Structure 1
Amino acid sequence: MPSWKQMLGMTVTFFGCLLGAFGIAYVMVTIPPVNPSTQLQNNIFEWSDTSQMASVGQVNRQNVDLSRVPQKVQWDFLAAENSTFYTDSGVDMKGMARAIVDMAKGGDVQSGSTITQQFVKNAYLNQNQTATRKLKEIMISLKIGVSHKLTKDDILQGYLNSNYYGRGAYGIQAAAQAYYREDVSKLTVSQGAFLTATVNEPSVMMNADSDPAAKAAATARWKYVIQRMQAIGKISPSEEQQILAAGFPTPKPAPVANGMSGQVGYLVQLAESYVEQHAHITDQQFNQGGYTIRTTFDKKKVNELSAAVAAMEKKNLNPKARSADKDVQVGAASVDPTTGAIEAIYGGAGYDKGYYVDNANSTGVPVGSTFKPFDLAAAIDHGAVLSPGAAPSPISPDSKFLGNDGIEIKNQQGQYIQDGTDPTGMLHQHNDVDKAWGYITLREAMEQSVNTPYVQLGEYTGYNNVENEALAAGLLRSSLQYDTAGFYIGTSTPSPIRMADAYATFDDNGMHHEPYSVTSVTSAGQPLPGFTPPAGTQAMPASTASNVSDVLQDVVKYGTGTNAKAIGRPAAGKTGTTDDYKSAWFIGYTPQLSTSIAMFKENPTSGTLLSMEGVGGYSKVFGADMPTQVWTDYMGAALDGQPVVNFPPAAQLPKGSDENGAPLPTPSTSITPSNTPSDTPNPSHSNPSPSTTPCSQRPGGCSSPPPSHTPGGDNGGWGILGGQDGGGGPTPSGSQSPGGGAGGGKGNGPGAGGGTD
């Protein structure tokens, strides 16, 4: 047996060797770069009221500055994990000794660690429970503590931001949202104590809202943290009793998949697109995360718009019982007319339902008669060439044009427009019905959505003038379809967002505000430039805008839009329907809000538009029906509690000229304007000749009368209508499965176009 001196010598030698090895390890180990995975964050999207809308990114983490975390919540973690944090060297000496012994035995290391050690494990190393990793953890922790490369606050901040808390949440900000739907700055001591508990057993604590066993374990750990807070003097005994008496702060149910269900997916897509266009950051930087994007979206209005669509569908659509109701879609948008802020959209069934194309922001659905206000605005602004070579004559809403069905249309040179599909070679413009309107004012033609006056008005005003008026109001050139005279009655395919914004230009006295969806973007607490709301531009004289608004108010009071009176406050708007009822629109506004509703039916495979005949049990689907139902339900809810505001009176305009020059004799076939929409021809009135030009001056003469035509769908059209629908909407990127799209269907054949109700 060795003597005690020999035993002592062996022991000293053994520990000396260990300490020597430890010293060599300390010298050799360097502080590595921060693990890149700990720098990955998500991007936070906020509603207009700053509450969180969605968390999107590779990792559900949003790093925050320590100053954002309440002091007592910081101490929740320190009290439970490392109360000597601000005075120790960064290493638990007992834990280190235990680690040395375990290493000597060749076993795995499982011991308590300081906050510094846990931060090092998260930020620089990995979660493997091995002797090598534990030794590195200790060495790096000592070096950080001795070298003071990081302050204690830096370490605590890194620790709180790098922990995994369960529910897919990395970092305390993500945890605050995942468990309590709160910003970290609003956490209470009690909630902080629960989050502290999740760090030790995240897989258990994450179900504390629904699993009794998990709640019991969480409650016990929560009590321990609160008691430790009192024991180290961070809360008083009376505060401890108050917190315990209030009870365990049960977390809210786990959120759904990053909050991307319902309309949120479309809202995030819209905001991301806006950020990419206006921020000076690369896609790689944005995908790295860490940005907070505050949007213009009003959570209440978004929910109300979705509810209005759902109510309409529940009331009218039954795809299981009626095949016509299958594949019907809705797109909608609501814009603040005074700023251009997009407050709500309805993009479709939702990302969670497998539909990834945003109908609110997609083109491809013809707008029909909702385009006519741009014709009227252009004519008021630029006048109309009523006879060849003459200067443009002034036009007002009271100017009269021939409204009969099947009339021939002349251009500014006095030539009749050709249509190769018609046996006569002439274009014969049609209305939805062959009622003999005679000469009617542009106001009444707008009210009753009569096509022929507006096609002729458009030709006399000129393509360029109408196009530029629409562009100035906010439509995009890429969405305008002006290859035929149907341009004037709605062959173009702007998105619902653009149509709501363009009507908002009439609403705001001719001032156009470019639509926008983001008010600020911050990174690491610093705002990025480029997100000042767009300045307004005067798109048209206020007098023009007020007169168009006045006419559109009459559409609601007396015309095809009377169903919109249900909101019980002054409103202006226009209905629109296209060939074969492939789309139906209602766009309307009050002084506070402009909203567009589009409804269409689409082949889910090809993306082409289909007729909506029979949808909802309606033989003909007009914008005055289901789209207006959505509009009135939504606008009534969105404006509830807001004051009733009247539109300003229409400005006085110069006396307008009639189609055949001023003054126009009262035609023998004139009829008394009706104050209600009419879809039935009045047999008591004869159909006057579509032209007053002598036969000798007409191309082709008058050798044969124009053939009888069946109206080409609700939009009128002319000639032999064709179906040339366009292709489908955009294809989703990444791993998303394609859904139906707002297809590019024009619904127009040779010369066909536009729409009325």
Structure 2
Amino acid sequence: MSRKRPGGGLSTPQQVAKFLGVSVLSGAVLAGLALPAVGAFGLAARGTMEGFDEIPAMMERPPLTQMTTILDADGNRIADVYSRNRTVVPLDEMSEHLRQAIVAIEDARFYEHGAVDLQGILRALTTNAQSGSVEQGASTLTQQYVKNVFVEAAGDDPEAVAEATIQSGAAGLGRKIREMKYAIQLEEELTKDQILENYLNITYFGQQAYGAEAASQRYFSKPASELALHEAALLAGLVQSPSQYDPVQYEETALQRRNTVLASMVDNGAITEAEADEAMALDLGLNVSQPRQGCVTATNDAGFFCDYVKWEFLANPVFGETREEREALWALGGLTIRTTLDPQAQEAAAQAAKDGAFAEDSVSATVVGVQPGTGHILSMAQSRPYGFDLEQHQTTINLNVSSEMGGSAYGFQPGSTFKPITAAAALEEGISPALEYTTDNEIAVPKSDFRDCEGRPLTDESEPNYELGNERDDMEGTWDMTDALADSVNTYFVELEREVGLCETMQMADELGVERGDNEPLAAVPSLTLGSETVAPLQIANAYATFAARGMHCAPVSITAVTDAEGEELPVPEPSCERVMAEDNADTVNAMLLNVVEEGTGSSVALPGRQSAGKTGTTNDRRDVWFAGYTPDLATAVHVGNENQNEAMVGITIAGQYHAQAGGASVAGPIWRQAMNGALEGVAPSTFPEVDVPRGEGDDDEEEDDRPGGNRPGRDGDEDRDNRGRPGRDRD
């Protein structure tokens, strides 16, 4: 609809075009819409010269983009995401005042004329001719709706939007004629109320609000059904120029426009003078709600989980055969997505992450929890907030997940949290946990003793041996598998890896869902068992969840139900679970990791009143520290480190506490304990199956508890070392 312009002359080509355009259309209508070629402009339909009858008879009406709502497992709102903030509602869920106001100000004879209002065109012609400028337009509500359909179909394409809204010249006239023809078609297909409903759901009201419902929520924080007269008049006045009459920015201009609408409603017989006077005496009555768009506004610090939901949706073929189809469905919106997020577990994880590392610290903490037996992601949090403001230490990189799901480029070295995977591979190969190795504190193992999955021995002429050491200088002696896990003995696990096979270890990791953080396969290197390959925390949490589920591996999942805008249920991913370990072998791993928490390096973070199993992890130079642990109900992995892996956590302050050397038990462990305690509060303690784990004989001349490398509670004995006994990153 044309806006009033100051001044009395036709001073620009655009004004001339608009004036002549209205004149031509009037003549066309008077001629019965038989439009061969009219005036100097001719007829430009779709930007070309073609006849009215050549315009396609049917107008495509794409579904309206709407807001998608993401819910947690209890049905609480996590976030609203949208390309356009819109919620489609039926006409009977819009205030009658709003319906009357829109008709009165935009098309007073809407219920009396057809698709094209000849009387309105003649009135516009007369008014514009008398003023010498374009004072009035002649588009009906039906024509305006058609234009909005063109704009909606254009999406975010600037050229398409410009074509859909062009006002001047032959192209502008062609657009008007297309609108007229499609308006005629619509008036044959739909009732007036249906057209009005469509119009009120599609039109833009400013402030990122599309449609009456979103506008009512934006300006008045209430549904459109509850709009009072003065509120409805304000919204109706916005559609002509949402920016010019923006009540948030221009209160006085908006007030004048609202009162103009009220006066039009009196003229149209919708309300009385007294009702209008009463409404005009009121102020705007705004109760503005800020748009809660996207994962930045997620509740319960669940921004990273919200982000993961989108990545999972776009990656899973169940939501569309191609990536393009899935992206189109996501952009269309109108979905309600029920997720796996447990609000209690998420609150505990988020608080633990923030307490364990401050947002402004040089390192960050991540926490992710998985439900054993389902793969449901119950929590996902980071110490740095989700967002785009770098000055506030925000980030949108989800450090809990792999790169293809929005994570860091490579992931993080897991250190000794990988050792249980080697133990699992050994048990599956029939190796007894009683197997003992007697080693020095530092050893050298020929690389040719290891073979990749093609059966080829590893060779390196420049460095034929893999040289490594234990955490402490006194860690030499005899260990079985239980003791080696409890005290995190590097030399034992490299010997075990050589025994079970490097390929078998890699295959076990793959079956547990562990790959590199860049989603490439793990490399065949002897240091694999010591956690030299970079992985994502979610992968470690899910691998440990498999142990807790007695060998049943379930792929991680965040989406459990999806309904579309019509309330129809859409297909969702089926649970993807398979047995990857024998129950008794998984039970044995659980018993050995239970021992780690009760008597080994993880004893300082044991959960009071309930059984828990887990493993510390500290990488070379202490660039990454971990604690991954679980009960039968929940597996959680915690990582603390620098996102770029370029800072050794030595002589460092984290969360206000100084650490001479950061460790898995001292830094990551307390975060894990806080997250687990909070998540499981009110959950009855459960226990692991009792297992009689075979044990080795130990050194002949010493009691078991006094053996070098035996069970010594409360230490971080899990750092990989090079052949010089100093921290150093494995480069194999």
Q: Same fold (TM over 0.5)?
A: yes
Contact 1:438–1:671 (Cα < 8 Å) also in 2:
no
Tell me the equivalent position of 1:308: 352
Where does residue 514 of structure 1 map in the other structure? 555
Instruction: Measure, in 2, the Cα distance between the counterparts of 1:353 and 1:280.
Output: 33
What one-letter code is carried by the residue in structure 2 that aligns with 1:110? Q
1:329 aligns with: 364
Matched, 1:294 2:337: yes
Task: Give 1:352's aligned amino acid.
Answer: F
* 2:100 is the counterpart of 1:118: no
Q: Is residue 26 of structure 1 aligned with residue 50 of structure 2?
A: no
Query: Are 1:377 and 2:424 matched, yes or no?
Result: yes
Amino acid at match of 1:169: A
**Paired position in structure 2 for 1:340:** 375
Find out whether 1:69 has 2:90 as its counterpart: yes
Structure-1 residue corresponding to 2:442: 406
Give me the whole-angstrom Cα distance separating, in 2, the residues matched to 1:221 and 1:714: 76
Letter matched to residue 162 of structure 1: I
Q: Does 1:169 align with 2:209?
A: yes
Instruction: Note if 1:504 corresponds to 2:511.
Output: no
How far apart, in 1, do the equivalents of 2:663 and 2:367 lie? 16
When residues 63 and 678 of structure 1 are mapped into structure 2, their CA distance, relative to the original with a 3 A threshold, is closer
> What residue ranges of structure 1 are gaps of 5+ in the alignment?
1-15, 319-324, 385-394, 681-712, 724-746, 751-757
Residues 396-428 of structure 1: CA deviation (Å, up to 9, x unaligned)? 3x554436522565899899x999889xx8655
Q: Distance in 2 between matches of 1:217 and 1:258?
A: 37
Task: Tell me which of 292, 302, 305 is aligned to 1:255.
Answer: 292
Q: Which amino acid aligns with 2:401?
A: N
Q: Tell me which amino acid in the other structure corresponds to 2:552.
A: M
Amino acid at match of 2:723: W
Cα RMSD between the aligned structures?
4.9
Superposed, 1:150-165 pairs within 5 Å as 150-152=190-192, 154-165=194-205
Residues 224-254 of structure 1: CA deviation (Å, up to 9, x unaligned): 9999999789xxx9xxx9xx99x95723234
Q: Please state if 1:41 is matched with 2:65.
A: yes
Q: CA 1:566/1:211 → structure 2, altered by over 3 Å: closer, same or farther?
A: farther
Mapped contact 2:469–2:721 kept (Cα < 8 A): yes
1:610 corresponds to: 647
**How does 1:183-332 map onto structure 2 within 5 Å?**
188-190=225-227, 194=231, 197-201=234-238, 202-203=242-243, 250-255=287-292, 259=296, 264=303, 267-268=306-307, 271-278=310-317, 279-288=319-328, 289-291=331-333, 292=335, 294=337, 296=339, 298=341, 300=343, 301-302=345-346, 304-314=348-358, 326=362, 328-332=363-367
One-letter amino acid matched to 2:651: G
Residues 495 and 632 of structure 1: CA distance in aligned 2, closer, same or farther (over 3 Å) = same
Q: Where does residue 125 of structure 2 map in the other structure? A: 100
Q: 1:195 and 1:554 mapped to 2: Cα distance?
A: 68
Report the equivalent of 2:399.
Answer: 359
> Structure 1 pair 627/21, CA: closer, same or farther in 2 (3 Å)?
same
CA distance in 1, matches of 2:377, 2:726: 37
Offset, 1:493? 1.7
Q: Secondary structure at the match of 2:189?
A: coil
- Return the alpha-carbon distance in structure 2 between the equivalents of residues 155 and 470 of structure 1: 59
Query: Following TM superposition, by how much is the alpha carbon of 1:651 offset from its aligned partner in structure 2, in angstroms?
Result: 4.0
Alpha-carbon separation, structure 2, partners of 1:474 and 1:550: 22
For residues 142 and 644 of structure 1, the distance between their equivalents in structure 2, rounded to whole angstroms, comes to: 65
Aligned to 2:720: 715
User: Could you say what secondary structure the match of 1:748 adopts?
Assistant: coil
- Tell me by how many angstroms 1:514 deviates: 0.6
Provide the rounded CA distance (Å) in 1 between the counterparts of 2:264 and 2:511: 63
Structure 1 residues 438-496: Cα deviation after superposition (integer angstroms, max 9, x where no partner): 33443233223222222222222222322222222221375564543321121122211
The letter for the 1-side match of 2:234 is A
Alignment check: 8 A CA contact 1:180 1:251 kept: yes
- Paired residue for 2:660? 619
In the TM superposition, what whole-angstrom CA distance separates every residue of 1:75-109 from its partner, at most 9, and x where no partner exists?
44322223886676356676444223234445314
2: CA distance, partners of 1:587 / 1:310? 18
Distance 2:374 2:166 in 1: 51
Superposition deviation, residue 506 in structure 1: 0.9
Q: Which amino acid aligns with 1:538?
A: R
Identical pairs, percent? 23
User: Residues 232 and 401 of structure 1: is their aligned pair in 2 closer, same or farther, counting only changes over 3 Å?
Assistant: farther
Cα separation, 1, equivalents of 2:228 and 2:668: 46
| In 2: Cα distance, 1:129 partner to 1:191 partner | 38
Query: Match for 2:303: what amino acid?
Result: V
- Compared CA separation, residues 510 and 286, structure 1 to 2 (3 A): closer
For 2:700, the equivalent position in structure 1 comes to 666
The one-letter code sitting in structure 1 at the alignment partner of 2:93 is K
The answer to whether the Cα contact below 8 Å between 1:505 and 1:513 also exists between their aligned partners in 2 is: yes
CA distance in 1, matches of 2:726, 2:521: 20
Q: 1:484 to 1:399 in 2, by over 3 A?
A: same
- Partner AA of 1:296 in structure 2: T
For residues 727 and 615 of structure 2, the distance between their equivalents in structure 1, rounded to whole angstroms, comes to 26
1:56-88 deviation line (CA, Å, top 9, x unaligned)? 43xx15574xxx436231644322223886676
1:345-370 deviations in Å (ceiling 9; x for gaps)? 33655341354433112333110010
Q: Which moved more, 1:357-366 or 1:28-37?
A: 28-37
Q: Give the whole-Å Cα distance in 1 for the aligned partners of 2:589 and 2:263.
A: 70
Shift of 1:274: 4.2
Secondary structure in 2 matching 1:591: coil
Structure 1 partner of 2:454: none
TM-score of the pair, normalised by structure 1: 0.69
Return the offset for 1:433: 0.5
State which drifts further: 631-640 or 477-486. Answer: 477-486
Change (3 A) 1:89 1:482: closer
Deviation for aligned residue 1:516: 2.2
1:580 positional shift: 0.8
Secondary structure (helix, strand or coil) at the match of 1:575 reads strand
Between the aligned partners of 2:577 and 2:673, the Cα distance in structure 1 is 28
Shift of 1:335: 2.0
Residue from 466, 472, 494 that aligns with 2:535: 494
Contact 2:295 2:306 in 1 (8 A): no
Question: Match for 1:368: what amino acid?
Answer: G
Partner of 2:660, secondary structure, is coil
Look up the SS of the partner of 1:444 in the other structure.
Answer: helix
Instruction: Label 1:564 to 1:667 Cα distance change in 2 as closer, same or farther (>3 A).
Output: same
CA distance 1:116–1:40, shift in 2 (3 Å): closer
Structure 2 CA distance for aligned equivalents of residues 599 and 63 of structure 1: 41
Distance 1:443 1:257, change over 3 A: closer
Q: 1:331 and 1:564 mapped to 2: Cα distance? A: 17
Per the alignment, do residues 197 and 614 of structure 1 end up closer, same or farther by CA in structure 2, a change over 3 Å counting? same
Note the C-alpha offset of 1:513.
0.6
Counterpart in the other structure of 1:8: none
Amino acid in structure 2 at the alignment position of 1:41: T
Deviation digits for residues 201-229 of structure 1 (CA, Å, limit 9, x no counterpart): 24478665x99769978998999999999
For residues 570 and 223 of structure 1, do their structure 2 counterparts lie closer, same or farther at Cα, with a shift above 3 Å needed?
farther
What residue in structure 1 maps to residue 573 of structure 2?
532
Offset of 1:547 from its aligned partner?
2.4
- For residue 432 of structure 1, report the CA deviation from its aligned partner: 0.7
Deviates more, 1:352-361 or 1:107-116: 107-116
1:633 aligns with one of 649, 671, 674: 674
Aligned CA distance change for structure 1 residues 135 and 516 (closer, same or farther; 3 Å): closer
Instruction: Give the TM-score normalised by structure 2.
Output: 0.71
In structure 2, relative to structure 1, the CA distance for the partners of 1:675 and 1:611 (3 Å cut) is closer
